[in-house]
Amino acid sequence: MRVIDGDTVAIGETRIRLHGIDAPEKAQFCGSRTAPMWPCGSWVTGEMRARFEGRHARCEALEIDKYGRTVARCEVAGEDLGAALVDGGLAFAYTKYSFDYLRQQTEAARRGAGLHGAGVQSPADFREATRRGHDAQHLAKAPDGCVIKGNISSRGDTRIYHVPGQTWYGATRISLAKGERWFCSEAEAQNAGWRRAHH
């Protein structure tokens, strides 16, 4: 089995979307007003690879989704992969399509496992923002992994950075000509003399 991202794997040439779960997108960052932003999407993908890459999986195909992927329930060493991921806080129960893993999600949230308590925006909300053209438009122009937007006020006297998920992130445009820039971490932005936006 080859890991594509937090909820998608490949067996041979078949791309499989794991049934009933939803994991952060690769480009997704997590955080809150009190917690620094961190690349939770790439972290989940890395955890998936460390635990399951190259292992033998047995999958039961359930349907084909609109992207042409096989939606399946998979097991590794007799363990339901979806249940293991939700229980470990690496993915969420995708209740839009199934309530199969709601019990595991409730338990993971109670324990504060993985993503729970990390200020994570739901993957579905992140994708919706991307579909609206906000985050997608700007993430596409960002250097790889450097998605924090360093913005300069119209008067040129205030330097503020915006992180994915904040209120004005999607609407903020970066003009390199004005001296605005992308940052790879909040520490980098702060060291350069920028402060975090309040919302």
Is 133 a residue whose pLDDT tops 80?
Answer: no
DSSP per residue, 17-49 = EETTEE---TT--B--SSS--B-HHHHHHHHHH
**Residue 1: both structure tokens together:** 């089995």
d(CA 70, CA 59): 10
Cα separations in angstroms, 4 against 9, 12, 48, 49, 84: 5, 12, 9, 9, 17
- Order the strands of the 181-183 sheet from edge to edge: 181-183, 148-152, 159-162, 195-196
Say whether 62 sits in a helix, a strand or coil.
strand
Sign of dihedral through CA atoms 137, 18, 67, 125?
A: negative
**Domain boundary pick from 81, 111, 141:** 111
Domain membership flag for residue 116: no
Domain end: 43, 78, 111, which one? 111
pLDDT at 165: 86
Q: List beta partners, residue 195.
A: 160
DSSP secondary structure letter of residue 61: E
What whole-number distance in Å separates Cα of residue 191 and Cα of residue 24? 28
Say if residue 22's pLDDT is above 90.
yes
CATH of the domain at 88: 2.40.50.90
Region 106-110 average pLDDT: 92
Name, in order, each residue with C-beta under 8 angstroms of 58's C-beta and a sequence gap of 6 or more: 74, 75, 76
Percent of the chain as helix, strand, coil, to the nearest 5 = 25, 25, 50
Segments forming the whole domain that contains residue 81: 2-111
Say if residue 100 is in the same domain as residue 163: no
pLDDT band for position 154 (cuts 50, 70, 90): confident
What does the pLDDT average to over 5-14? 94
Residues 168 and 83 in one domain: no
The reported pLDDT for the residue numbered 18 is 97
Q: Tell me, what's the pLDDT at 168?
A: 86
**Quick one: 25 and 83 in the same domain?**
yes
Question: Is 73 in contact with 25 (CB distance < 8 Å)?
Answer: no
Q: Is the pLDDT of residue 50 over 80?
A: yes
Indicate whether 65 belongs to any domain: yes
Amino acid, single-letter form, for residue 146: C
The predicted model gives 97-106 an average pLDDT of 95
Q: Residue 175: inside a domain, yes or no?
A: yes
Same domain, 103 and 28: yes
Determine what percent of the chain is predicted with pLDDT higher than 90.
54
Out of 79, 111, 143, a domain closes at: 111
State residue 170's pLDDT score: 82
Angle at 165 between CA 176 and CA 28, to 5 degrees: 85
- Residue 140 pLDDT greater than 50, yes or no: no
Q: Are residues 102 and 155 in the same domain?
A: no
What average pLDDT does the segment 167-179 reach?
81
Q: SS3 for 6?
A: coil
Residue 158 lies in a domain: yes
Same domain? 13 vs 59: yes
Q: Are residues 81 and 41 in the same domain?
A: yes
What is the per-residue pLDDT for 199? 78
Number of domains in the chain: 2
Looking at the structure, tell me whether residues 102 and 143 fall in a common domain: no
